Amino acid sequence: MNVLNLLFTKDGLIYQIAKNKSILEEKSYFVTEETPVNLIEEKLDEILIKQRFDEIQVVSALNHFTLMPEGFSGHEDGFELIAYNAPVDKEKEELMLSVNKKFSVQFYYTFPKNFYKKIKELAVPVHFNFSGEKFLNSVNNKSNKEIHINLYHNQCEFFAIDHKKVILYNNLDVNSEVDFLYFVMFTLSKIGFGINDTNFYAYGETTENETFLSELQKFVKNLKIVFDNIPNKNFILN
């Protein structure tokens, strides 16, 4: 079975083509000052016609989201709830829902409507998910207070968890390691997580974000790299 895995980030698109759990092809595209503004849309079009796919798995790490308790049923309020965190455009964004039963939370998030339509038009089984839900599903809360950080290219998401309860989730653009480090430390103080009492876990593009992790290690005692992305092995996609 040929499966297409797609991961959309703030300014990027990563895809994998898999057959029987073996990764046959993987590539990343990122918008820069030198690339066309619509690079992601162009590359998505190229990827979707590469071959016949039996299934498509789509993960969105775009930071248009809100976190609610599992069972919240006010779906019609999804756009309004997301608008507290980020501007939304109902004409251009599709409202989506991902439920995480492991921690009893659910995510409302939006996905670009033009991308959604292009993918659905292929008329093959498609599964959409939010990166935060997939990330949370991989987390094993062993100790009391934990910070789990998933690093991307110029972006990251993180959870604060205490006794198997999600205290906080955020998904941020990271243009400066120093700014992100300050934000993490500020967040810890606000939610009452002591630096010496909190275990930190890092995932994803840890090599690319080595500077941030090195700086973080100067302040925290307990930091473990759980997963480092390498070619054909991507934490969120695999």
* pLDDT tens digits for range 125-183: 999 999 999 999 999 888 789 999 999 998 999 999 998 899 999 998 887 777 788 88
H-state helical runs in 67-191 = 78-83, 113-120, 131-137, 177-191
The CATH number of domain 140-225, selected from 3.60.15.10, 1.10.357.10, 3.40.50.720, 3.30.420.260: 3.30.420.260
Residue 5 tokens, joined: 């895995």
Global pTM value? 0.95
Q: Within the chain, which residue ranges are assigned CATH 3.30.420.260? A: 140-225
- Confirm if 28 and 10 have CB atoms less than 8 A apart: no
Please report which residue ranges of 49-196 form alpha helices under DSSP H: 78-83, 113-120, 131-137, 177-191
Which 8-state DSSP code applies to residue 164? T
User: Among 105, 106, 103, which Cα is nearest to 141's?
Assistant: 103
Q: Indicate the pLDDT class of residue 69, thresholds 50, 70 and 90.
A: very high
CATH number given to 1-137:
3.30.420.250
Q: Where in the chain is CATH 3.30.420.250? A: 1-137
